[in-house]
């Protein structure tokens, strides 16, 4: 006799009654019903019986579970802590579980794998955290089979959440212009190629800088001198920029400012007395809410903050809508970025 039948036999009721009680579906109004339900739960605990959640999910057509899809290539699935935590918390508030799936491209471009992915993973939808090098076949198959999916930090035609890097870069440039800077350089060593191998932020941040410079009637710095510099030579290239005859009075750096701050220290250049710096980066960890920036050499770097927590919550909200209506395309949701001034920016020294 299996456990379910044993509980029903000892409680003197049907197996359906046992299941309704253990699922919380039984109406326990009368004292006799309350007493019977207590006996059933005690028997279930003693016998170690749990209802089959997967079978129940299959019957009702919902698993109450969402999968966060990551690439097996870590560099293609940037996952800051506040993004992951907000996704988890937003789903938990709705009684939905989160599972994490790391897959190679071959799995998500396989016509035999994709159609059954929700059933095999026992989930209702996908939050896809592929940021670049995205296989086109993967995008096509997910759309063809109407798998409820929302892309995070990826600019798609629909069903995605991404950051306003263009606006963030304009904000940084205009902030420096407001401090009197006219010789403002944009620092990024990676070539700008509008392909699926380049993250949209690299193009948008540079174009936001160029646009703000042109609006102010200023000449953008020629970035071709930096493009393609090997990683091992980038510190030297940054130092050469800071000691050259055309040294800018302000720098906007694509990513974290460690290299720049180190190069400035080696070159004997003071920040912000000689040159100002703004960079891009995630919010400080919530465990340290008073930290305003990343501290290097005694300075809090001025940063255009990436609000990953907002992106995570919006992605969950959109996915819930997609699960309800898989065939409906949702317009992209663009998350605004804000400047956290720090203390690496000062008036133009000229």
State the DSSP string of 267-290: HT--TTTT-EEEEEEEPPPTT-TT
Percent of the chain topping pLDDT 70: 88
Domain borders along the chain are 3-51, 60-163+309-335, 165-306
Quote the pLDDT of residue 29.
66
| pLDDT of 296 | 57
For residues 302-311, average pLDDT = 95
**Pair 82, 283: CB distance under 8 Å:** yes
Question: Which residues lie below 8 Å from residue 233, measured CB to CB, with a gap of 6+?
Answer: none
Do the domains 165-306 and 60-163+309-335 match in fold?
yes
Q: What is the mean pLDDT of the chain?
A: 86
Condensed to tens digits (0 to 9), the pLDDT of residues 216-274 reads 999 999 888 778 888 889 899 899 999 988 899 999 999 868 889 999 999 999 999 99
Structure letter (DSSP) for residue 244: S
**Res. 204 pLDDT band, cuts 50 70 90:** very high
91 has pLDDT over 60:
yes
Distance CA 10, CA 47 (A): 11
Q: Look at residue 54 in the predicted model and tell me its pLDDT.
A: 47
Please tell me the pTM assigned to this model: 0.79
Fold for domain 3-51?
Answer: 434 Repressor (Amino-terminal Domain) (1.10.260)
- pLDDT digit string, tens, across residues 318-347: 999 999 998 899 999 999 999 999 899 999
* pLDDT of amino acid 112: 79
Model confidence at 58: pLDDT above 50: no
CB 43 within 8 A of CB 1: no
Of 57-61, 169-173, 254-258, least confident by mean pLDDT is 57-61
Helices (H), the chain: 3-11, 15-22, 31-47, 53-60, 81-93, 105-108, 117-121, 136-144, 165-178, 200-215, 234-243, 258-267, 308-324
Alpha carbons 133 and 71: distance in angstroms, whole number: 10
Q: Which CATH superfamily is domain 165-306 in?
A: Response regulator (3.40.50.2300)
Q: Is the pLDDT of residue 305 over 50?
A: yes
Domain at 60-163+309-335: CATH code = 3.40.50.2300
How far is it, in rounded angstroms, from Cα 194 to Cα 113?
A: 29
Work out the average pLDDT over 195-208: 86
């Amino acid at each position: 006799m299996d456990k379910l039948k044993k509980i029903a036999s000892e409680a003197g009721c049907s197996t359906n009654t046992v299941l309704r009680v253990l699922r919380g579906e039984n109406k326990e109004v009368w004292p006799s019903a309350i007493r019977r339900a207590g006996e059933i739960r005690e028997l279930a605990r003693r016998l170690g019986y749990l209802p089959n959640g997967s079978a129940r999910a299959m019957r009702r057509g919902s698993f109450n579970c969402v999968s966060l899809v990551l690439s097996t290539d870590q560099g293609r699935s940037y996952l800051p802590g506040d993004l992951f935590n907000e996704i988890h918390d937003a789903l938990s508030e709705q009684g939905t579980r989160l599972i994490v799936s790391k897959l190679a491209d071959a799995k998500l471009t396989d016509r035999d794998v994709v159609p059954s992915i929700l059933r095999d993973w026992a989930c209702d939808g996908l939050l896809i955290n592929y940021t670049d090098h995205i296989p086109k076949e993967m995008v096509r198959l997910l759309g063809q089979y109407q798998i409820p999916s929302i892309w995070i930090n990826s600019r798609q035609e629909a069903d995605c959440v991404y950051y306003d890097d263009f606006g963030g870069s304009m904000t940084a440039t205009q902030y420096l212009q407001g401090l009197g800077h006219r010789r403002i350089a944009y620092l990024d060593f990676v070539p700008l190629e509008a392909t699926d191998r380049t993250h949209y932020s690299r193009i948008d941040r540079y174009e936001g800088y160029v646009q703000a410079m042109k609006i102010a009637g200023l000449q953008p710095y020629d970035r071709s001198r930096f493009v393609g510099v090997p990683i091992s030579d980038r510190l030297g290239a940054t130092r050469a920029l800071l000691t050259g005859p055309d040294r800018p009075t302000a720098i906007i750096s694509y990513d974290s400012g460690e290299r720049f701050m180190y190069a400035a220290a080696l070159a004997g250049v003071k920040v912000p007395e000689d040159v100002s710096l703004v960079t891009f980066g995630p919010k400080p960890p919530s465990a340290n809410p008073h930290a305003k920036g990343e501290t290097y050499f005694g300075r809090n770097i001025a940063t255009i903050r990436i609000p990953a927590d907002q992106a995570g919550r919006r992605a969950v909200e959109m996915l819930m809508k997609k699960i309800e209506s898989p065939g409906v395309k949702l317009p992209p949701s663009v998350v605004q970025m804000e400047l956290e001034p720090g203390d690496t920016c000062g008036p133009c020294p000229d």
